[in-house]
């Protein structure tokens, strides 16, 4: 085993050395990292003996969890926060909505959405009133498009990218159909490179320009789910606006991953989920952003009825992005000001800003888990996280490019990196495409040694070092396991190993 100060980039000793210098390393202890035994366990209760013999591995070791792009790990403090929620519910019942316990980590339930908005705002670079924590991602995309997609006879198209996440396709096509327009109203931007799914900024700008006169809305991903590419949000947003087009962003893979400045960039609207890099738990509550310029304070006092001439005037612009206030087209009681919610007089008085888009009282369970996780993010700050992320992900790309044990495999084109390599063009995810017929065996081999990554059939492995809980040793252990997995997969496929 290499010495602690070993400077051989490819050694485990060097990985330990790098981690020892990481100023964020103690945040790893804030998370529950499943052990190899945990991943194998068949019961939730820890009753089984941990198998120390199988595969010669120590089953009490932490797994190599590189799947925060799909489901982030559980922060330890989540249990404390949730226990408080359960205790409040258990001891106060309905009064939990209003009870201010002296030792509570969150405000009473009736205000918890405001706490969530305040906590998420710095992570997406927004003013507190520009964000709302609510619903789930696809639902929020629909709610936002209901307000922002106001097709007219002159401008009715939606531009999106061809390889967008399926739910975005469904949402966009169904919005177009809902307004009575044909599928051909959706303009799909093809990847500039079909093999890597890379979208050049220029090709996006060119498509926008080509359809500018007839386009009502653009919806794009901040970070692409498949390739891990980070799009140039400010440049594309500015270009859309120069043509008078409203633009929204699906930030599922960007939030908590890369620093965002939604307010400063003038983004019209955005939506995200909280179960990936935000670590709020499977299917947890989503969030949305509506730029201040669209509600501008007026909405507090002025109510524009949905479908009214005033609203069409405000939203159905033909030449420029909306400047008149946009109110939620679809409404619910939680979007109405607190003072009016229980008045029961059926007068909708919109909350200030994005909060007006809320429909229902939010799941306090979800909000509590989100607040637990966001408290860690806001301790660290996105800039520090990003700095570590660039090192980890850039380092992983470098190792994949020059790991000695994979030299022959690389030469033979056994794998290629789909993710753009420049730091400014990716977040924490590296997508690796394998030669045909290798994916299943590579995944099996990785799983066998406790490396958790995810696959996109038929040939892509996605690997995401999340800087809050992953370190260089995880990257090293992944590379070590990946080398073995690739060699084994080739041996099984070809009957011998060429590496
Ligand atoms: C890019 C993207 N958009 C939309 C979704 C759908 O999210 P939800 O199920 O929360 O609506 C996902 C889910 O992973 C996603 O990755």
Q: What is the pLDDT of residue 315?
A: 44
Q: What is the pLDDT of residues 344-400, one digit of tens each?
A: 889 999 999 999 999 999 999 999 999 999 999 999 999 999 999 999 999 999 999
- Could you tell me the sign of the dihedral formed by the alpha carbons of 151, 137, 440, 483, in that order? positive
Q: Is 181 annotated as a binding residue?
A: no
The contacts of residue 375 (CB under 8 Å, 6+ apart) are 77, 105, 119
Q: What is the pLDDT of residue 264?
A: 98
Cα 324 to ligand 1 centre (Å): 30
Domain boundaries, the chain: 12-32+381-494, 96-373
pLDDT of res. 296: 75
Is 265 annotated in a binding site? The answer is no
Pocket test for ligand 1, best of 69, 160, 167 (most atoms within 8 A of CB): 167
Ligand 1 mean position to 5 CA, how many Å? 42
Which of 427, 423, 467 is closest to 72 using CA atoms? 467
**What is the CATH number assigned to the segment(s) 96-373?**
3.40.640.10
Q: List the single range of 140-144, 344-348, 414-418 with lowest mean pLDDT.
A: 344-348
Closest residue by Cα to atom 10, ligand 1, is: 137
Q: How many CB atoms lie within 10 A of CB 48?
A: 12
Arithmetic mean of pLDDT over the chain: 92
497 pLDDT band (50/70/90 cuts)? Answer: low
Alpha-helical (H) ranges within 93-165 are 112-124, 137-148
pLDDT confidence of residue 491: 95
Report the pLDDT averaged over residues 426-440: 97
Residue closest by Cα to atom 7 of ligand 1: 137
Share of the chain above pLDDT 70, in %: 91
Q: Is 478 among the annotated ligand-binding positions?
A: no
**How distant, in Å, are the alpha carbons of 59, 260, 336 from that of 121?**
40, 10, 21
Q: Does 306 have pLDDT greater than 50?
A: no
Higher pLDDT, 49 or 447: 447
Determine the straight-line distance between the first and last CA of the chain, rounded to whole angstroms: 23
**Section 288-296 average pLDDT:** 94
138 marked ligand binding residue = yes
Confidence of residue 53 (pLDDT cuts 50, 70, 90): low
The pLDDT of residue 300 is 35
Which residues does a 6 A CB cutoff place in the pocket of ligand 1?
A: 136-138, 165, 167-168, 221, 225, 250, 252-253, 273, 286
Asked whether residue 477 carries a pLDDT value surpassing 80, the answer given is: yes
Could you tell me the fold of the domain covering 12-32+381-494? 3.90.1150
């Amino acid at each position: 085993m290499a010495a602690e100060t070993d400077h051989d980039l490819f050694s485990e000793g060097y990985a330990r050395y790098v981690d020892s210098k990481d100023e964020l390393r103690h945040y790893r202890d804030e998370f529950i990292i499943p052990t190899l035994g945990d991943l194998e366990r068949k019961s939730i209760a820890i009753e089984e003996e941990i198998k120390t013999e199988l595969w010669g591995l120590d089953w009490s070791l932490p797994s190599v969890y590189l799947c925060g792009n799909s489901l982030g790990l559980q922060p330890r403090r989540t249990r404390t926060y949730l226990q408080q929620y359960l205790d409040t519910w258990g001891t106060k019942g309905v009064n939990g909505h209003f009870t201010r316990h002296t030792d509570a980590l969150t405000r009473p339930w009736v205000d918890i959405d405001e706490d969530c908005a305040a906590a998420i705002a710095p992570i997406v670079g927004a003013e507190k009133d520009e964000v709302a924590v609510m619903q789930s991602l696809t639902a929020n995309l629909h709610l936002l498009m209901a307000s922002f997609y106001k097709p007219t006879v002159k401008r009715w198209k939606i531009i999106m990218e061809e390889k967008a996440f399926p739910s975005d396709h469904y949402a966009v096509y169904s919005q177009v159909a809902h307004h009575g327009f044909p599928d051909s109203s959706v303009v799909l931007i093809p990847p500039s490179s079909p093999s890597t799914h890379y979208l050049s900024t220029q090709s996006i700008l060119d498509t926008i320009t080509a359809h500018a006169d007839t386009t009502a809305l653009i919806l794009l991903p901040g970070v692409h789910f498949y390739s891990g590419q980070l799009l140039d949000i400010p440049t594309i947003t500015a270009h859309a606006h120069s043509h008078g087009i409203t633009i929204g962003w699906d930030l599922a893979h960007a939030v908590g991953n890369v620093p965002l400045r939604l307010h400063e960039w003038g983004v019209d609207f955005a939506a995200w989920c909280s179960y990936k890099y935000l670590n709020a738990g499977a299917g947890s509550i989503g969030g949305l952003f509506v730029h201040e310029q669209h509600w501008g304070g007026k909405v507090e006092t002025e109510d524009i009825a949905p479908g009214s001439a005033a609203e069409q005037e405000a939203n159905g612009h033909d030449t420029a992005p909306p400047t008149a206030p946009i109110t939620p087209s679809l409404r619910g009681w939680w979007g109405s000001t607190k003072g009016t919610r229980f008045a029961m007089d059926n007068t909708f008085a919109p909350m200030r800003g994005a909060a007006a888009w809320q429909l229902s009282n939010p799941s306090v369970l979800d909000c509590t888990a989100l607040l637990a996780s966001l408290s860690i993010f806001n301790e660290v700050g996105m800039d520090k996280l990003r700095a570590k992320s660039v090192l980890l992900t850039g380092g992983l790309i470098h190792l994949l490019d020059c790991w000695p044990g994979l030299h022959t495999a690389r030469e033979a084109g056994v794998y290629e990196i789909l993710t753009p390599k420049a730091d400014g063009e990716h977040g924490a995810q590296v997508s690796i495409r394998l030669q045909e017929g290798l994916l299943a065996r590579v995944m099996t081999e990785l799983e066998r040694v406790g490396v958790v990554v995810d696959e996109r059939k038929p040939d892509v492995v996605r690997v995401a070092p999340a800087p809050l809980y992953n370190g260089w040793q995880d990257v090293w252990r992944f590379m070590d396991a990946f080398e073995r997995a690739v060699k084994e997969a080739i041996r099984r496929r070809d009957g011998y190993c060429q590496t």
